[in-house]
Structure 1
Amino acid sequence: MHMPGVLMHWDDLRIFLTVAREGSISGAARRLNVQHSTVSRRLLVLEKSLGTRLLNRKKSGYELTSAGEELKHSATRMEMEIFDFEGTMGNQDCLLAGELHVSAINNMASTVLMPMFASFSIKNPHIQLHIEVSNKYVSLAERQADIAIRLTNDPVDTLIGARLTTIASTVYGGSAYLQQLRGSGESPRWLGVECCGFHHDWTHKACPDHSYSFFVDDTLLTVAALEQGLGLAYLPCFMGDSNAALERFCDPDPLLDLGLWLLYHPDLRHARRVVAFREHMLSQIEAQFALFEGRLPRMDMKAPAQGPG
């Protein structure tokens, strides 16, 4: 987008780009950690300097005008050039600084990954690390996050990154419930799990009549329900094995293994913050492979059954 005689500041373009991606001024203000009024004011200044409207207000948020669409493409190219410049500075003794947005799965971000995030933040105090939990798709191309940590065996082929480790899973229950179940010979009671597609599908296969009386939509809720003796459910081994109130109902099935990936857009491959975070996570997770792969011994574990069926 070429506007002769128009001087545009990168801070204003960055604000506009964030509004375009978030779809609202309030969403952009939250992401940028500034006041709503600041975003509105800077947008008005930008539109006035360009002499054209960039956004139209709709009931569902904001929609880009044709000029806004053109400016978004230009601003995105500028943003990528800044990241490329960061990459060329990689061999120089310069300070790691700036924002880094990481989207991670809630049950991992709030438990086993948090010490890793904390140590990265302590080691790099000038990086503003934003941890955003989501089990859903985020568009890295639209910069809804810089990095996504995801469980998948089929990462999106337009992204790059690193497979951090393998996550093993199996069926868990509360210790008292499993003791009662083994003694009675009754059919197991299953939790209706709707936290993710993996657990939902595995549970439906293990409990074909779908006779659930209690439902949960978050893995941390699953743990709490299992602790109350409400039935059986699938959990990643790093959660189930580290909880003294739970026991394995059966051995992990290798067919349920999932890859834990750290993914980012190819345009960020030279960004120093991204590279530093990737190397940090690879190093931290390598030290805990046994935990993630379900190979940590548990002295209190009873002999598991052969399968959930």
Structure 2
Amino acid sequence: MDWDDLKVFLAVARGESLSRAGRVLKRDAATVGRRVSKLEADLGLSLFTKSPQGYALTDAGLRLLSHAERAEQAVMSGVDELAGQSGQLSGQVRIGATDGVASFILPQVCAAIQRDHPELELQIVALPRVINLSKREADMAITVSPPQTGRITVQKITDYNLHLAASHEYLEQAAPLECLADLRNHPVVGYIQDMISYPELDFLEDLGVEKTALASNLVSVQLGLVKQGGGVGVTHDFILPSAPELKRVLTDELSIRRSFYLVRHEGDARMERFARVGEELLCGIRDEVARLEGMVGR
């Protein structure tokens, strides 16, 4: 069995389909299917159960998966070690994140990292749900809730703050807003309740309201709704410098604090590329959140 066989196996195991694996490998699905069939024939074992829903690992496939992932980490570690002799990082790192940090923090941080390492390719995957590291949707993830299971390493990055905010125009025309009880007289902008992936993002209890008048699964869309005078919404303090049309309200009544965490595959934390990018992300996100929050209220 050669390394190319294992790359094909890993792509199918993670993508759970020949077409998704083919896109990762830049090969057509038929070629990927033939490679899988040949690997199974060479081993004399069925590695996948095929169904209309896709390719699922058999018991034999699950046993091979752990060995294949260790081989992958060994190959990548070797490449990183050689590349690291120049002091420059190279290769691809895919970073998964919720859309708030992906839209308003990571662009500045990742641009700075890439300027220092021109051969590095950084990709930001913004999803309004939990990133699946085991399927390699990303190499590392920025989350608001530390996972409790899996072969992963978790590091707290920093705390961040959220407050209620509304547009200046809305506040000039709306009913008085002097305490949280007054929210019953205002439309509230927030998350779609049955699409909240992290319990830390469910703010309705903090607000003392039962439902939102306008909702989205994306922070960027919620921000747009608040900007357009759609109502009052919970907004990240680090977003406010880029939204001068908004004003924080009831800051003495409600202040929410949450945290960002860096989550990585356990083995990847020992690899030069991922270890160094991870550390630069930690410092960069921490500094950028502090910088932007420090601008609020000026």
Query: SS state of the match for residue 56, structure 1?
Result: strand
| AA matched with 1:295 | G
| Consecutive unaligned residues in structure 2, runs of 5 or more | none
Alignment of structure 1 residues 66-85 onto 2, 5 Å: 66-82=59-75, 85=78
Question: Is residue 96 of structure 2 the alignment partner of residue 100 of structure 1?
Answer: no
CA deviation string 1:46-82 (max 9, x = no partner): 2343344422311211122343233223212322433
Counterpart of 2:209 in structure 1 is 208
Q: Does the 8 Å contact 1:22/1:144 carry over to 2?
A: no
SS of the residue corresponding to residue 57 of structure 1 reads strand
CA contact (8 A) 1:174 1:226 kept: yes
Q: How does 1:277-292 map to 2 (within 5 A)?
A: 277-291=277-291
Distance 1:13 1:80, change over 3 A: same
Runs of 4+ in structure 1 displaced over 4 angstroms?
Answer: 83-91, 182-186, 197-200, 252-255
3-state DSSP of counterpart to 2:202: helix
**2:117 matches 1:124:** yes
Equivalent residue for 1:306? none
What is the aligned partner in structure 2 of residue 27 from structure 1?
A: 20
- Which structure's residues are more often helix, by fraction? 2
Q: Distance in 2 between matches of 1:235 and 1:55?
A: 45
Paired residues of 2:14 and 2:134 also in contact (CA < 8 A) = no
- What TM-score do the two structures reach when normalised by structure 2? 0.81
Give the whole-Å Cα distance in 2 for the aligned partners of 1:206 and 1:214. 15
Aligned-residue identity in percent: 25
What letter corresponds to residue 222 of structure 2 in structure 1? Answer: T
- Say if 2:97 and 2:131, in contact at 8 Å, map to a contact too: no
- CA separation in 2, counterparts of 1:280 and 1:61? 38
Question: Is the 1:106–1:135 Cα contact (8 Å) retained in structure 2?
Answer: yes
Tell me the equivalent position of 2:186: 188
Assess, with a 3 A threshold, how the Cα gap between structure 1 residues 109 and 208 changes in structure 2: closer, same or farther: closer
Partner Cα distance (2:104, 2:13) in 1: 33
How far did 1:248 drift?
Answer: 0.7
Deviation of 1:253 (Å): 7.6
Distance change in 2, residues 1:88/1:96 (3 Å): closer
Going from structure 1 to structure 2, the CA distance change for 1:252 and 1:31 (only over 3 Å counts) comes to farther
C-alpha distance 110-75 of structure 1, shift in aligned 2 (>3 A): same
The one-letter code sitting in structure 1 at the alignment partner of 2:294 is: R
Q: What is the DSSP-based 3-state SS (H/G/I as helix, E as strand, rest coil) of the residue aligned with 1:269? A: helix
Give 1:172 deviation, angstroms: 1.0
CA distance in 1, matches of 2:27, 2:159: 39
Superposed counterparts of 1:247-262, under 5 Å: 247-251=247-251, 256-262=256-262
User: Aligned pair in 2 of structure 1 residues 111, 189: CA closer, same or farther (>3 Å)?
Assistant: same
Pairs within 5 Å for 1:117-196: 117-152=110-145, 154-156=146-148, 159-181=152-174, 187-194=185-192, 196=196
Q: Cα–Cα, structure 1 residues 100 and 33, in superposed 2: closer, same or farther, change >3 Å?
A: farther
8 Å CA contact retained: 1:169, 1:253: no
Amino acid paired to 1:227: K
Cα deviation digits, residues 174-200 of structure 1 (max 9, x gap): 111112236688733212422644576
Q: Secondary structure at the match of 2:263?
A: strand
The separation in 2 between residues aligned to 1:94 and 1:173, in whole angstroms, is 47
Q: CA deviation at 1:230?
A: 1.1
1:307 — aligned with what? none
CA distance in 2, matches of 1:94, 1:35: 37
Q: How many residues align?
A: 289
> Contact conserved, 1:29 with 1:39, CA < 8 A, in 2?
yes
Q: In structure 1, how many angstroms separate the alpha carbons of the residues matched to 2:120 and 2:90?
A: 4
What does 1:6-25 align with in structure 2 at a 5 Å threshold? 8-25=1-18
C-alpha separation in 2, matches of 1:36 and 1:252: 58
Q: RMSD in angstroms over aligned alpha carbons?
A: 3.1
Secondary structure of the 1:191 match is strand
- 8 Å CA contact 1:178, 1:249 repeated in 2: no
Cross-structure match for 1:54: 47
Aligned-residue offset at 1:156 = 3.3
1:242-274 alpha-carbon deviations (Å, 9 max, x no partner):
201211113278962111121212211211111
Bigger mean CA deviation after superposition, 166-175 or 251-260: 251-260
Q: Which digits, 9 at most, give the CA deviation of each residue in 1:68-111, with x for residues without a partner?
A: 23322321232243355567669744763333222111222133
Structure 1's unaligned 5+ residue stretches are 1-7, 300-309
